[in-house]
Amino acid sequence: MIKTDIIIIGAGPTGLFTVFEAGLLKLKCHLIDALPQPGGQCSELYPKKPIYDIPGFPEILAGDLTKNLLEQGKQFEPGFTLGERAETIEKQEDGSFIVTTNKGTKHQAPVVAIASGLGSFEPRKPQIENLLDYEDKGVEYMIKEPEMYRNKNVVIAGGGDSALDWSIYLSDVAKSVTLVHRRNEFRGHLDSVEKVQELKNEGKINLITPAEVTNIFGNGKVEAIEITKSGEAPAIVETDHFIPLFGLSPKLGPIANWGLEIEKNAIKVNNALDYQTNIPGIFAIGDGNYYPGKLKLILCGFHEATIMCQAAYKIINPGKKFVLKYTTVSGIDGFDGTRKEAPKAVVQAIN
């Protein structure tokens, strides 16, 4: 039995930042994730994709954000159960919870924080008859290592941020990039749309709209695709890779059977207080929760984790008063006995 103060289900950015916020309160965390490494989607789906809305970082790669969060939290010595899925949860007579994984590993804590993001997920696939024949043979649904596309001909399909961002990124890597979207309008950020248009005008991206990829050709691997544009005869385009980026189809998995209140395929929480679910002691933070006005952004998950940890402290230490101290003044005490002092100049300036 692994015992801790807070069981965190999900080792994505929100779960990893929870370790730091809990550590400031002298609370120990143990994280469970079905993936074999921490980082969630940032590590598994797009480690080389730049993120632009993390405070203090004009641009940071998703993989580097994961590394930074791990470095930030390691002083508080979190535990990890990786490559295992949280399967069941049982409430004990003393009010604590036991979370058991699909491999039988048991974890016990008075507080559970579900930071599982979208849960388990599968890529949304286009309706192309022979698509499955070319999976891992030139058809990819996510980009893990951009260097594999260097000096290759690449066709990307989609109209959201992922399709736009990767088209922009690969325009400096691939031999050619073709972006196909079934509409003239895109769903992504305006800056990305404008950048794609700029690269099209420079001849670095071949933009085809409104159109769809309707067939794939090749002998054992992708060699060409058929693009059908509205009002025109189908055209054959030679390519080495076809990457349909139509998003993910999220599923909560076993968590959906835990008696939690579900709304809009997410866990409903009380955002007016502390992001607690309908079961006292179980919280949901990050992309996997729902409340009116919810925004599925990493920075929102960081905020929710901070508030949740304050509530967790009160559950774990009933009747004990906690005084909030700014790290710029108090410094940071790690579980290993080390201490990072706030710079004297900062303390004096605040005082």
Do 168 and 111 have their domain in common?
Answer: no
pLDDT at 350: 38
The residue among 177, 183, 175, 184 whose CA lies nearest residue 151 is: 175
- CA end-to-end span of the chain, whole Å? 46
Asked whether residue 106 is domain-assigned, the answer is: yes
Report, as an integer, the average pLDDT of 290-304: 95
Report, as an integer, the average pLDDT of 258-274: 93
Stronger pLDDT, 1 or 345, i.e. the higher one:
1
Residue 33, annotated as binding a ligand? yes
Asked whether residue 158 is domain-assigned, the answer is: yes
| Boundary of a domain, candidates 227, 246, 265 | 246
Residue 104 in this model has a pLDDT that exceeds 50: yes
Do 241 and 287 have their domain in common?
Answer: no
Q: What percent of the chain has pLDDT over 70?
A: 90
Using CA atoms, how far apart are residues 8 and 40, in angstroms rounded to an integer? 13
pLDDT at 348: 41
Residue 46, annotated as binding a ligand? yes
Do 229 and 262 have their domain in common?
Answer: no
Residue 328, annotated as binding a ligand? yes
pLDDT at 328: 64
Mean residue pLDDT across the chain: 90
Q: Please classify residue 164 by burial: count the beta carbons closer than 10 Å to its beta carbon, then call 0-12 exposed, 13-18 middle and 19+ buried.
A: buried
HSE value, Cβ hemisphere, 13 Å, CA-based, for 208? 22
Residue 349 in this model has a pLDDT that exceeds 70: no
Residue 14, annotated as binding a ligand? yes
| Boundary of a domain, candidates 246, 281, 298 | 246
| Boundary of a domain, candidates 198, 228, 246 | 246
Q: What is the pLDDT of residues 138-162, one digit of tens each?
A: 999 888 789 999 999 999 999 988 8
The residue among 315, 339, 337 whose CA lies nearest residue 7 is: 315
- Token pair, residue 231, equals 């009002």
Total domain count, the chain: 2
Do 139 and 72 have their domain in common?
Answer: no
CB 99 within 8 A of CB 86: yes
Residue 121, annotated as binding a ligand? yes
> Which has the minimum average pLDDT: 38-52, 72-86, 195-209?
38-52
Using CA atoms, how far apart are residues 7 and 22, in angstroms rounded to an integer? 11
In terms of residue numbers, what domain contains 132?
125-246
CB 68 within 8 A of CB 17: no
Asked whether residue 54 is domain-assigned, the answer is: yes
Do 207 and 318 have their domain in common?
Answer: no
Residue 233, annotated as binding a ligand? no
Do 113 and 259 have their domain in common?
Answer: yes
Do 240 and 132 have their domain in common?
Answer: yes
Do 241 and 130 have their domain in common?
Answer: yes
Report residue 60 CA to chain centroid gap: 14
pLDDT at 83: 83
Do 156 and 130 have their domain in common?
Answer: yes
CA distances from 91 to 107, 110, 186, 234, 281 (A): 12, 9, 47, 59, 10
Asked whether residue 350 is domain-assigned, the answer is: no
Residue 161, annotated as binding a ligand? no
Do 147 and 75 have their domain in common?
Answer: no
The CATH number linked to 303 is 3.50.50.60
> Residues with Cβ < 8 Å from 202, sequence gap 6 or more?
none
Residue 41, annotated as binding a ligand? yes
- Token pair, residue 151, equals 């000096």
Asked whether residue 257 is domain-assigned, the answer is: yes
Report, as an integer, the average pLDDT of 317-322: 86
